Structure 1
């Protein structure tokens, strides 16, 4: 037999149910806000490091890391979280998976893309990025080439790019006729161009610009028109980071960017890259 309750009792039952639902959500919401607290409890911030100058660099002899994202990660950990900072060597193919599997807390120098946003969260951008091309200006294949990717996308042309990077994905979508040579690191892609195993080097505009400055006698930099991409370069974090925790990092980055401190770090890293290039020559 159906039971009927007075309106006041029905309202009381509904209110109790709503309170119960809210209480059930509290543990989940609380768990979302623990990332920085967990790192502070552990006493170490782990930064995933895939090498790409001037963002992230690693001295082969000492194993020490430098670059402006390295400086940002170190400063955020030591000055904001008050913990030690550890850099974990990885590759661009694995850097997102490392965040997902909790092998490191921050992935450094990630380009903001929709595909990556399905897998992790992004901080506010520290800098802006676009893809550029670098070629040997005496290469006869490009005697009539302009600034369009299509001018270089020809049979018999080889593009060299770091595997797994944003540049890899972008050039793979744009190139229809040329061959793409995917290599594990920046040194390998540069050597491919210098040895003429590759005709075009695909990389970040600031990285290619530094390389072009170090090799003015033979190199030519091209900023494609239309642009292949203009993206923010950010830290990558776990997708379950709370808005409050993400705001901590975003405020830190925004303040350092607006005061010009990040520009100063870029200049410092760029000088280091050029000094290393001159020593190697």
Structure 2
């Protein structure tokens, strides 16, 4: 499946050689503070803010899916030998909940210098940048290209999920358009579909999937690029280096083997199948 998301190994591969033994022998290295507490509790709690395809939640069953969910569950069960528990939250509360001990790991957080002052990041599981979705028939963008200035105009409304990296990036870059901050991806998509918003600013892989499933939607990768960052798990700032190295080794191994790409494909297929069934 063609995807716009870049999945270069980046800095993560550097951890593979040095730390791979930690994954292969997890029990021998699980005696430090963070993982020791998790193993004593018998459960790894993962903060879950919904944004497909990273984290998804079935409203009927309450079951979580998505490739960060798969990674959290696999790391819990195969490495730490505990169960995974997903704690419903919003993007605005991901860091605060981590700091207050409501969950052990926050899923799918973009690495930013500001967040790095408050939390510890794993190596990236994948890479991110903000893209724009528009209705291809919107007359406001008849001559628009991929220049951000083509969409930053008076009379244009841009929907964005409050508290996300996209929110921060767009807020810093937009000078003339109106921002519509909404709590989740369902709300931002509905705003675009109902034409209450002219543009949806979100993660490029999320927007790419939506554009694939909706012929009227056009995806734009703006120039200059917005918020090109790694997407990682976040842990408490006090997490011991040995514990973080164990998680890094796990992610580096799975990324180098192509397994994370396969999980992205799985989540993508789930989303498209669900949209076709509606």
Superposition TM-score, scaled by structure 1 size: 0.87
CA distance in 2, matches of 1:165, 1:251: 27
1:213-252 aligned within 5 A = 213-216=212-215, 218-252=216-250
The superposition leaves residues 138-164 of structure 1 with CA deviations (integer Å, 9 ceiling, x where unpaired) of 111111211111111111100000000
Give the corresponding residue for 1:117. Answer: 116
Give the corresponding residue for 1:262. Answer: 260
CA distance in 1, matches of 2:118, 2:32: 19
CA distance in 1, matches of 2:172, 2:275: 32
CA distance in 2, matches of 1:38, 1:100: 15
Give the corresponding residue for 2:32. Answer: 33
1:169-180 aligned within 5 A = 169-180=168-179
CA distance in 1, matches of 2:168, 2:124: 20
Give the corresponding residue for 1:208. Answer: 207
CA distance in 1, matches of 2:106, 2:184: 17
Give the corresponding residue for 1:28. Answer: none
CA distance in 1, matches of 2:262, 2:102: 30
**SS in structure 1 at match of 2:98:** helix
The superposition leaves residues 10-49 of structure 1 with CA deviations (integer Å, 9 ceiling, x where unpaired) of xxxxxxxxxxxxxxxxxxxxxx931000110111100000
Contact 2:120 2:239 in 1 (8 A): yes
Write out the 4+ residue segments of structure 1 that deviate beyond 6 Å after TM superposition.
none
Give the corresponding residue for 1:19. Answer: none
Superposition TM-score, scaled by structure 2 size: 0.88
Give the corresponding residue for 1:10. Answer: none
Instruction: Tell whether 2:180 aligns with 1:167.
Output: no
Give the corresponding residue for 1:127. Answer: 126
List runs of 5+ in structure 1 lacking aligned partners. Answer: 1-31
List runs of 5+ in structure 2 lacking aligned partners. Answer: 1-30
CA distance in 1, matches of 2:176, 2:195: 19
Instruction: Tell whether 2:51 aligns with 1:52.
Output: yes
Bigger radius of gyration: 1
CA distance in 1, matches of 2:180, 2:66: 26
Deviation at 1:275, TM superposition (A): 0.7
